[in-house]
Chain A
Amino acid sequence: MNAQAKPPARNTKVMNRFDLTSRLLARLKNEEAVVGGIGNTNFDLWAAGHRPQNFYMLGSMGLAFPIALGVALAQPKRRVFALEGDGSLLMQLGSLSTIAMLAPKNLTLVVMDNGIYQITGGQPTPAASVTDIVAVAVASGIASSAWAADEEDFERLVEQSMTASGPSLIGVRIDDKPGVGTTRRDPVQIRERFMHGMGVRQPL
């Protein structure tokens, strides 16, 4: 079945997760929040440079966008980025409709799409050869959704999203490389540090 399906036509370069995450972090100047989804997505966020405004999700596959939405609703003046894998997003496609309905201006969603469950051994996702995730986002009501053609285009789309009148989604095709680092798996410290980063709490 899959062999017969034609992959969606994309005029996009295959990029690298760690490189794109580093490029994103380098552009952040205003203590923007960054929520990293399960597995390699947050491993590369960790490797790109820990900051108190980073949140690393260690389970709950598919909830990076909902968590970021919650932060964006709580702090409408802060820009919130969410980094999610394609397999993770497939678990929670309905969250795109919720985000479209609430339409927070301060939320930028990034989908790292390699078509595989990289961390479990590189098995293809059901969407890999048949589904265009950016088209799904547009159809879900997130009008400002686009594939990044290359690294420069990714940076341009990130910049554009910061002044958009609603939420934005950026799709990036990435290779099958594993994450560069490994997040320190300490959920309480991650959450507490993030709350410090959000200005919600002061350290003891």
Chain B
Amino acid sequence: MALAEQKTSPQASPEQAPPQTWHGIVQQTLKRNEIRLVPYVPDRVLTTLIKNLHADPYFTTFPTAREEEAVGIVSGAWMGGMRGVLLMQTSGFATLANALASLAMPYQIPLIMFVSERGTLGEFNYGQSLVCRTMRPVLDSLAMEHHTCTRLDEFEFIIDRSIKQAITTQSPVALILSPLLTGGKVFDK
């Protein structure tokens, strides 16, 4: 847990050493890939990332009422020439099967999704643990690319390559942020 706490601690000012946190890596990798539009439905684990993206004028960061809505917005922006990414939690992903199967997949839109994984490795809410089990079967049933990110040392490689693959192959991708990477959310928080 101590290691996980360290990983989620706020990073130093951007001018200093390269980012050492998972959220710093996300922010830098989005920029490198010219992804500016960031609709999200919040999650506790994503708090620091969302705060930093809001503070960075490079990004247009805003909440949506539902995850589906954000799929529509990112799809529209892509067709208009602007790249976007959707941030959400496991339970939010569970609301997306129809939008993925009827919009992102058939129209071949490189929908990039970061999913903060709840429901495993110390979950305290039974419903969260159940809904988490639906995520990978849904992704697999649509043959959608997905990766579970567990280690800081390979995180940048996975997300940078996956974003580039999504764009060049015009295919959606789900990047699942495991509690092993983020520390997750535990009962005493």
A residues at B contact (CB < 8 Å)? 33, 35, 55, 57-75, 78, 92-95, 97-98, 101-102, 187-188, 190-191, 194-195, 198-200
Inter-chain contacts of B163 with A (CB < 8 A): none
Inter-chain contacts of A101 with B (CB < 8 A): 62
Inter-chain contacts of B109 with A (CB < 8 A): 191
- Alpha-carbon distance A48/B144, docked complex (angstroms): 36
B76 touches A69 (CB 8 A): yes
Of chain B, the residue at the smallest CB distance from A60 is B103
Which of the residues B71, B79, B84 comes within 8 Å of A191, measured between beta carbons? Answer: B79
- Alpha-carbon distance A55/B76, docked complex (angstroms): 10
From residue A58, how far is it (CB to closest CB) to chain B in Å?
7
Inter-chain contacts of B74 with A (CB < 8 A): 70
Inter-chain contacts of B64 with A (CB < 8 A): 66, 94-95, 98
From residue B34, how far is it (CB to closest CB) to chain A in Å?
12
Which of B84, B99, B103, B107 is packed against the most chain A CB atoms within 10 Å? B107
B80 touches A66 (CB 8 A): no
B102 touches A58 (CB 8 A): yes
B73 touches A59 (CB 8 A): no
B81 touches A200 (CB 8 A): yes
B79 touches A198 (CB 8 A): yes
Of chain B, the residue at the smallest CB distance from A58 is B102
- Alpha-carbon distance A78/B120, docked complex (angstroms): 45
Which of the residues A65, A102, A195 comes within 8 Å of B79, measured between beta carbons? Answer: A195
- Alpha-carbon distance A93/B66, docked complex (angstroms): 10
Provide a sorted-by-A list of 19 A–B residue pairs whose CB atoms are within 8 angstroms.
A58-B106, A60-B71, A60-B98, A64-B72, A70-B73, A70-B78, A70-B84, A71-B79, A72-B76, A74-B77, A95-B72, A98-B63, A102-B62, A187-B106, A188-B107, A190-B107, A191-B108, A195-B79, A195-B81
- Alpha-carbon distance A71/B108, docked complex (angstroms): 16
A95 touches B106 (CB 8 A): no
Which of the residues A61, A74, A102 comes within 8 Å of B76, measured between beta carbons? Answer: A74
- Alpha-carbon distance A191/B103, docked complex (angstroms): 10
Which of A58, A65, A69, A198 is packed against the most chain B CB atoms within 10 Å? A69
B37 interface hit (Cβ, 8 Å): yes
B69 interface hit (Cβ, 8 Å): yes
Interface string of B23-56 (1 = CB under 8 A from A): 0000000000000010100000000000000000
With A58-B102, A94-B69, A199-B81 given, can you name 14 additional A-B contacts, CB distance below 8 Å?
A35-B76, A63-B69, A63-B99, A70-B82, A72-B80, A73-B76, A73-B80, A74-B80, A75-B81, A94-B64, A97-B65, A98-B63, A187-B108, A200-B80
Inter-chain contacts of B82 with A (CB < 8 A): 70, 73-75
Closest 5 CB pairs of A and B: A59-B102, A94-B65, A70-B76, A66-B72, A74-B80
Of chain A, the residue at the smallest CB distance from B105 is A187
B77 touches A73 (CB 8 A): yes
- Alpha-carbon distance A188/B170, docked complex (angstroms): 11
